[in-house]
A and B are shown apart, each in its own frame.
Chain A
Amino acid sequence: MAAFGRVGAALALTLLFVPAAARAQAPGATSARSRLALELGAAHASVLDPVASPLRYSGAGAALALAYRRESAAGAFDLGVDLQAARMASVLSATPGGPRETSAFAAASATLLRRVAGARLTGPRPTGTVLLLGADLRVDVSVRDHRYSEPALDFGYGLALAALGPAARLRVARGRVGELRADAAAPLVGVALRPYADLAYVRAGIHPRAAAPPDLAGAGAGLAWALPLGRARVVLGWRLDWLRYRDADLYRAARQRIGAGVELPLGGGP
């Protein structure tokens, strides 16, 4: 019953943000513009998953992010896909035959935000600062190949989490200099799928498990600088996602990516 209570409380808190954000996307909202964003860069991941190992595995790799962004004077709506791959090692990896991991991570997110403070940022080169609040729905899938070289053995470990939580964005626009966008979100309530041990357990059936604080804690933070280049924008971005999730064991992961890309306008908006 306590678990139901925690899930319910987290869901109620999150949904407080949603109606306001949804109104921002109503047909009345004007001056909306849509952009397609593509970002390429480097990723860094650290995972401590006792199901696989008592040691932290971390390492670098590559990242690709795709997003559809719709912004209006009243709010914003983002759909994003984030893909990362990294080769990871622990303190044991340097030993002969020591284990290594390859991590693949995919996330899909939908973020709905409403302007709550600051100026209306309109036009192709706006100036001003605006704060938006809303909700973020995110599905993360993480799969890791845990490999030993002597003898040659590999095992798969993973976690999938669909979570809803509050989100905030600060936009600081400075005309020709561009725009700084700071994002933050935190999963508050969700559903987790995690095999009891390695991924072969999928065949024995996986049971979804409701997740809420204190078993679920996490945060996502991003910083992006968008510089106008004609109708498009060049973007430099950084993002950090941290997750702490407990079922039979406590799973902890932190992922960062840093990259550069472009935002292309869609349609004939301003």
Chain B
Amino acid sequence: MKGDDTHRLSMSVNGRRVVIEVEPRTTLADALREQCGLTGTKVGCEQGSCGACTVMHDGQQIRSCLMFAVQAQDAEVWTIEGLSNPPAGQQASELPLPKLPDLASALKRNHGLQCGFCTPGMLIAGAALGHAASGRLDDAEIREGLSGNICRCTGYQGIVQSIAETFRAESTDSEAPS
């Protein structure tokens, strides 16, 4: 369990190949924050309860505090930094959560963040929720869908409203004649 031996880990992070040496016990969250310098991923509980460390892993939202870094071997990982600002040569539409920047704008418009510590995880969870639902979410479904992410500041109202606006607009668009 102690970290005398290390493993070489190769993965893709925000569209770039990363090779780092990690202890077997190092979590993906710590590897991203401490070895990749991507501190936008926050660590709130290290128990998988708060959702602040949510990242995208091979197209799925996961708690990066509950995954060992070595489990991400060869995986494609996206953090808030990459999802917010597409890497050079890539369009937002090619990323796993293309509407995340729109959701970020909505959160700002609707005062859906205060201290901002939960926000990266909330954005990824909210965008993943909206993405998966493809525009059919009602407020109760949004609230249920966010049950893995704690916000201690806002009371959630601006967050729920922002997800509704961002992803219901999509459903309206898709119903419009094209």
Partners in one complex: no
Q: Which residues of B contact A (CB under 8 A)?
A: none
Q: Which residues of A contact B (CB under 8 A)?
A: none
